[in-house]
Every structure is written in C-alpha cells, then in structure tokens.
C-alpha cells in the first residue's frame, strides 16, 4: 500500500503516552491517517506510570499484542497491600480475578511505549513525530482544524479532522483550547527514586507503607525498587533544602529491610518530582477537539488508575469516533458521546480518591477508623465480595471493551 497523505482527514494526537499511542494504533488499524506529536525527543521517561492493569492486557490480547509484550522484561504484582507497623492488609487481590492476566504487569513505561510505537510504525498512514511542541491551534468557524507545532526551530501547520489532547496533566492542548480544570483536592507531591533490589527481597505486590507523616510506595522492577515518597503539596523547595538525609531516615525507619540500601540515595538529582492532584474539566471537547486521560481528568496515583483510565478513554474514543471519521462526518455530538461514556466513571473514582487521599494523610495521626478502611475489612471478610476491590482497580467500574471489528484490522500493516 502506498503511503497516505497526511492532510485534513488526518487525526492529530498530541502526546505520545499510553493513551495517545493506543488511540493512534486503533485508528491506524481502521485505515485512518494519524499523526502523534510528542514533545520529548524519545520515550525515556523516568518514574512515570508503569503498571498495566488486566483491562489493558485484555485489550492488547484482543489486538494480538499481549503475548509479544509479555516477552519483554517485566515483573508481576498479584496484590496491593497497605503496610503499617502492626502488620499488612491486602487492599486489592488480583489473583482472584477471572482473567488470563490476574496481576498488574509492571514494565518501564519507555519499554511499553517503544513497543506500541513499533507496532504503529507498521502502518504507512501513521507516524510519531518527536520533538514536536504544539504552540497553537488552527481554528476556522469555531472549529479546531489542527495544530501549529515547532520542531527543530521550524514552525509547521498540521491540518486535522480531529485533534486529540493526550498530553497529560499539564496539557498544552487544554490550555490552548481554554478548557479549565476544576480541582477537587489540594493534592500532594511525590518524590520518586530507585534503590537496589536483592533476590531475597519480598515481591509479588505493590506496597503502600504508612508509618509517621509520610506515605512510601514500593514497586518491584526486578533489578531495582521504584520508591515513591509523599510530601505536602507545595513543599518541594523545603524538602530540597533539607536534602536526602530525611528521606533516607524515613525509608529506613519505615521499611527496615531497605535500611542498608538507602545509602544508594546520595544526591538530590536522583529524585524526580511528580505533582499530584485530582481534577477534571467540565467539558472534554470543543468542535474538532477532544481531551482524554490526564489532560481531561488528572488522577491521583492512589490505586494506579491513571494509565488504566486513560487507555480506556482511548478505547472509547476509537469505538465511537472511527466510523464518523472514516465517513468524513465527525460532529460535536460524537465527541460529547465519548465524554458521556466515560465521565460518570471518572467522577465516581475521583470522589473515592479524594476520600482515600484524606485517609492516607490522617491514618497515623488519628485513632478513628474511617470509612475506606472499614469498607476494606468488610469486603475482604464477606464471601463473594472479596474480588471487588481487585476488580475495580483492575477494570474500573465498567470497563470499556473493544468493538468486535477491532479483532481483525481493516487495513493491513505495511
């Protein structure tokens, strides 16, 4: 098949993260020309979301991609736990799920994105443009008709039938479109860093350690531990001035078996800041433009739902928009339907995250048993309900499934 023109019927996706590349791949398989603009020069992103939930693995299986992905280096977390001084409590048990993938697949995001981009590269009517920074929207008659971006110092106009903002919580597309975020919680900040892992270390779970004023998350990456250390929102400058010693002391005091290895954290540049908040825009779209994932609804890392919900946004968009795009009849009502399909679930999950965030902030400073902790005890104690926390983490409230037409690509790869 000769290469297709990238013109007005092109779909422009801004942001080469999981949601952007999954949407691009689904559209490309339907014969729709698609361009992904990624501001970075490559996919080497340190300490980004790295858990692929069962819903994502089942999506990839439907595309024939799960098996080759699992041949790449990864680990598997079969449960998530809350670890306190008096013991641990299972928050979500994925091993109970009825799925071929009863675990969270833990894989460096750069590896996952490289895999998706390689698959996308098999389609001559799809491309990823690195180093492309969007600076403006092309607009005509109240419609967004594409973007203006800068690459290697030169400005380019990219006309598009649909522009998708999949560029994360600090979305440039959202800013340019004038779609304002409504913040639902003050949020928190997380400092990420790596520590060496030993074969004798415990594994098989993602652990949330609570002891004292800080929350510490550990994720097994095989050769290393990825560690997240929470700090108060806006306290980054204060934490940096104090240096790494307080962090090393907190980790050693909270996770004794890591005490010897915290000496590997020697300087501030080993830390990476993730600013966390729970927020969403009132409307995800304008004529010719759609926001998905964190661009539309930044989610807390509690529960690791960010990538899962963003990818399900992408699947919903592909299911609902590919027909109108192929027919050249995309209308605002189609974009509004994507939001209606997804927004209710996002709102419920974010409301729960706000409660959980407050719970985590106060767990070790109050004796009161709060609703989420009590609810977990009930769910894990009642037969038939024990799978529910794992299911919600793995799939959300109502997972978006691929339409049957995606099982066989309409356009073969080149």
Specify whether 261 is located in the same domain as 284. Answer: no
Name every residue whose Cβ is closer than 8 Å to that of residue 194 and which is 6 or more positions away in sequence.
Answer: 221, 224, 225, 226, 227, 270
Task: Tell me: do 197 and 171 sit in the same domain.
Answer: no
> What is the percent of the chain with per-residue pLDDT over 90, rounded to a whole number?
66
Whole-angstrom distance, CA of residue 198 vs CA of residue 259 = 13
Reported confidence tier of residue 358, pLDDT bands at 50, 70, 90: low
Q: Which of 276, 298, 327 is the last residue of a domain?
A: 276
* 150 and 201 together in one domain: no
Provide the 10 A C-beta neighbour count for residue 244: 18
Range of the domain at 386: 11-45+109-184+279-399
**Once rounded to an integer, what is the mean pLDDT over residues 103-112?**
94
Q: What is the pLDDT of residues 141-186, one digit of tens each?
A: 999 999 999 999 999 999 999 999 999 999 999 999 999 999 887 6
Give me the pLDDT at residue 1, please: 33
C-alpha 140/C-alpha 364 separation (Å) is 55
pLDDT digit string (tens) for 51-91? 999 999 999 999 999 999 999 999 999 999 988 877 888 88
* Residue-wise pLDDT tens digits, 211-244: 767 789 999 999 899 999 988 888 999 999 999 9
Domain-ending residue, one of 233, 257, 276: 276
Whole-angstrom distance, CA of residue 109 vs CA of residue 102: 20
> Starting from the edge strand earliest in sequence, which strands make up the sheet with 34-38, in order?
126-130, 34-38, 11-14, 162-165, 289-291, 285-286
Mean pLDDT over residues 266-271, rounded?
A: 95
- The answer on 125 and 180 residing in a single domain is yes
Angle at 385 between CA 379 and CA 391, to 5 degrees: 100
- My answer on whether 169 and 198 are in the same domain is no
Contacts of 139 (CB under 8 A, 6+ apart): 145
Q: What is the mean pLDDT of residues 43-56?
A: 83
How many domains does the chain fold into?
Answer: 2
Q: What is the mean pLDDT of residues 257-276?
A: 92
Res. 3 pLDDT band, cuts 50 70 90: very low
For tokens 């000496």, the residue is: 263
* Coil, strand or helix at 92: strand
Residues 6+ apart with CB under 8 A from 335: 284, 285, 287, 289, 290, 321
DSSP H or E segment with residue 147: strand 143-151
Q: Within a domain: residue 67?
A: no
What is the average pLDDT across 8-15?
Answer: 90
**pTM of the predicted model as reported, rounded to 2 decimal places:** 0.90
């Amino acid at each position: 098949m000769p290469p297709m023109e990238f013109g007005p019927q092109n779909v422009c996706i801004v942001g080469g993260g999981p949601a952007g590349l999954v949407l691009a791949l689904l559209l490309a398989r339907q014969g729709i020309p698609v361009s992904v603009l990624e501001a970075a020069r490559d996919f080497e992103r340190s300490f980004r979301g790295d858990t692929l939930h069962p819903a994502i693995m089942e999506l990839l299986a439907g595309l024939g991609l799960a098996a080759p992905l699992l041949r790449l280096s990864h680990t598997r977390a079969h449960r998530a736990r809350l670890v306190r001084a008096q013991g641990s409590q299972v928050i979500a048990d994925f091993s109970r799920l009825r799925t071929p993938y009863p675990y969270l697949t833990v894989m460096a995001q750069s590896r996952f994105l490289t895999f998706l981009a390689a698959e996308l590269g098999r389609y001559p009517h799809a491309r990823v443009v690195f180093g492309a920074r969007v600076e403006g929207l092309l607009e005509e008659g109240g419609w967004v008709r594409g973007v203006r971006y800068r690459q290697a110092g030169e400005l380019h106009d990219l006309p598009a039938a649909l522009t998708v903002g999949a560029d994360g919580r600090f979305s440039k597309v959202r800013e340019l479109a004038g779609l304002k975020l409504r913040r639902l919680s003050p949020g928190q900040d997380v400092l990420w860093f790596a520590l060496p892992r030993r074969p004798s270390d415990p594994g098989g779970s993602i652990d949330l350690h609570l002891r004292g004023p800080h929350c510490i998350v550990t994720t097994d990456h095989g050769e290393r531990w990825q560690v997240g250390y929470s700090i108060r929102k806006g306290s980054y400058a204060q934490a940096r001035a104090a240096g790494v010693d307080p962090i090393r002391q907190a980790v050693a005091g909270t996770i004794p078996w890591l005490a010897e290895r915290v000496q590997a954290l020697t300087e501030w540049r080993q830390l990476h800041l993730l600013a966390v908040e729970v927020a969403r825009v009132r409307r995800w779209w304008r004529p010719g433009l759609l926001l998905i994932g964190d661009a539309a609804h930044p989610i807390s890392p509690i529960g690791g739902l960010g990538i899962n919900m963003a990818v399900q946004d992408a699947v919903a968009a592909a299911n609902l928009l590919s027909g109108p795009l192929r027919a050249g009849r995309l209308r605002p009502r189609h974009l509004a339907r994507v939001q209606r399909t997804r927004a209710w679930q996002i709102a419920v999950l974010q409301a729960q995250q706000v409660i959980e965030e407050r719970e985590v902030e106060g767990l070790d400073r109050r004796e009161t048993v709060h609703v989420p902790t009590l609810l977990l005890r009930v769910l894990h104690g009642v037969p038939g309900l024990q799978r529910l926390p794992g299911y919600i983490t793995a799939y959300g409230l109502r997972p978006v499934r691929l339409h049957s037409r995606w099982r066989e690509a309409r356009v073969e790869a080149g």
